[in-house]
Amino acid sequence: MPQYNKVTPEILDRLKVLAPGRVYAGEDVNEDYAHDEMPIYGTHTPEAVVEVLTTEEVAEIMKLCNLSRIPVTPRGAGTGLAGGAVPIAGGIVLSTVRMKQILEYDLDNLYVRVQPGVLLNELVEDAAKQGLLYPPDPGEKFATLGGNVSTNAGGMRAVKYGTTRDYVRAMTAVLPTGEVLRLGAAVSKTSSGYSLLNLMIGSEGTLGVVTELTLKLVPLPLETVSLIVPYEGLDQCISAVPEFLRNHLQPQALEFMERKIVLLTEKHLGKSVFPGMVDGAEAKAYLLVTFEGDSAEELQGIVERASEVVLETGALDVFVADSPAKKKDAWAARSALLEAILEGVKLVDECDVVVPATKIALYLNYINSLESRVGLNIMSFGHAGDGNLHIYATSNDLDEDTFKSRAAVFMDLAYEKASEFGGLVSGEHGIGHGKLEYLEKSAGGTAMALMEGIKKVFDPNLILNPGKVCLRLK
């Protein structure tokens, strides 16, 4: 384990000069900085928190901490689910929440420059006023864009538009040594050496601190429509997924969820959105599909073709959400799934695996078979179009130690089966420190050694977000 130093009163005084009025220590540190949205991975309180405003401030702080061997954990809104923004080595949390300016639109080239603390929903709403869409659509709308880039968040529109990585054209980042690095450019193509930009995306703040982003935008769709499609069983539900593409239908979003988790979110919202019984048959799984087009007439044709496809695969019916209120209710229920889980159960652990879309049903049937074996309640939903599944092991009855022991068994089995099916440990939530052991098992020694080597080149003193992604604290 690297030897780190404590934040001394002298260091604290120097930080207060660099970021006047924005340094917090001791009892002034908000307890939220000690954990993210998945507190089962532990709480770790930083010695100090610094809220930064500029690239220059970040550079000076990193120089100071690098010379002093003080660990630094970059953090946005703290909405992560793998312990990625939790200061497990102590030291300083470097918060970018005040760097929240939308700096500039380029309406001719369809780009926007932003600071990393801008919230996802803020950019989406502001871009819509310009007639534009920022396509990445993770479920947590109050995450920062810097955090989205750090985990390469995907979200619900990835089936059509791709993930966050596909929309980052350039960035400014500060290296652990304090050097300022400008990567990429506001262009669509590059063949200019190693892609350091793409290396930084998804690195979870272990290689540099992002201080500015240039993001690609697309024209805002003129019309959208959503379909709620209930099925009697999961196998039938998932069998429809490849049929959309085979029939030249390109959904903007294609989500699935099981009845058990739908009931939880409807209780949380106080509103029933998804039909439980259809013509005497019980719905046990659902697809939630959105299509976009240039006119209502175009969408009507798409809905008719999509309805034929899902009914042929065994759908009980097709419910069209074509008004703003109906669409809002349907997607509010989908967006509230995680919130409902965290509110409705005492203990939660999550895996965010991705498997080939054709293996979703087979994989989830295996996952559901583990419930009685491990003695936990398992709930699942996810992005059917790209195979990214969010699976939650939960309990309201166990003590924490027993839960953790059983959850560890479940996670071992779940990740092992995902690898067997050609999948990966994380589709969009990242590794943090909570999933590091599973990445080690999945990626293998050679890949992990390469990642460790890259980490050491960027961060020779290993001060930036230590203990995450590829390098354990031993």
**pLDDT tens profile 25-39:** 999 999 999 999 999
What pLDDT, on a 0 to 100 scale, did the predictor assign at position 385?
92
pLDDT in tens, 383-405: 999 999 999 999 999 999 999 99
Give the span between the Cα atoms of 291 and 252, in whole angstroms. Answer: 5
Residue 276 has pLDDT above 80, yes or no: yes
Closest C-alpha among 414, 412, 288 to residue 353: 414
* Domains of the chain and any CATH numbers: 9-97 (3.30.43.10), 102-219 (3.30.465.10), 223-335 (3.30.70.2190), 345-421 (3.30.70.2740)
What pLDDT, on a 0 to 100 scale, did the predictor assign at position 285?
95
Crossing angle of helices 324-335 and 259-269, rounded to 10°: 110
Residue 73 has pLDDT above 80, yes or no: yes
Closest C-alpha among 167, 288, 278, 292 to residue 218: 167
Buried b (16+ CB within 10 A) or exposed e, 16-25: eebbeebbbb
Dihedral, 152, 60, 464, 407 alpha carbons, nearest 10: -70
- The stretch 5-19 carries a mean pLDDT of 98
What pLDDT, on a 0 to 100 scale, did the predictor assign at position 460?
97
Crossing angle of helices 324-335 and 337-344, rounded to 10°: 50
Phi-psi region of 21 (alpha: psi -120 to 50; beta: other; left: phi over 0): left
Contact 62, 71 (CB under 8 A): no
Q: Which residues, in sequence order, are bridge partners of residue 233?
A: none
Phi, psi values for residue 215, rounded to 5°: -120, 140
pLDDT in tens, 344-357: 899 999 999 999 98
- DSSP three-state, residue 318: coil
Residue 327 has pLDDT above 90, yes or no: no
Q: How far is CA 222 from CA 120, 160, 225, 253, 303, in A?
A: 21, 16, 11, 16, 16
**In terms of pTM, does the model score above 0.85?**
yes
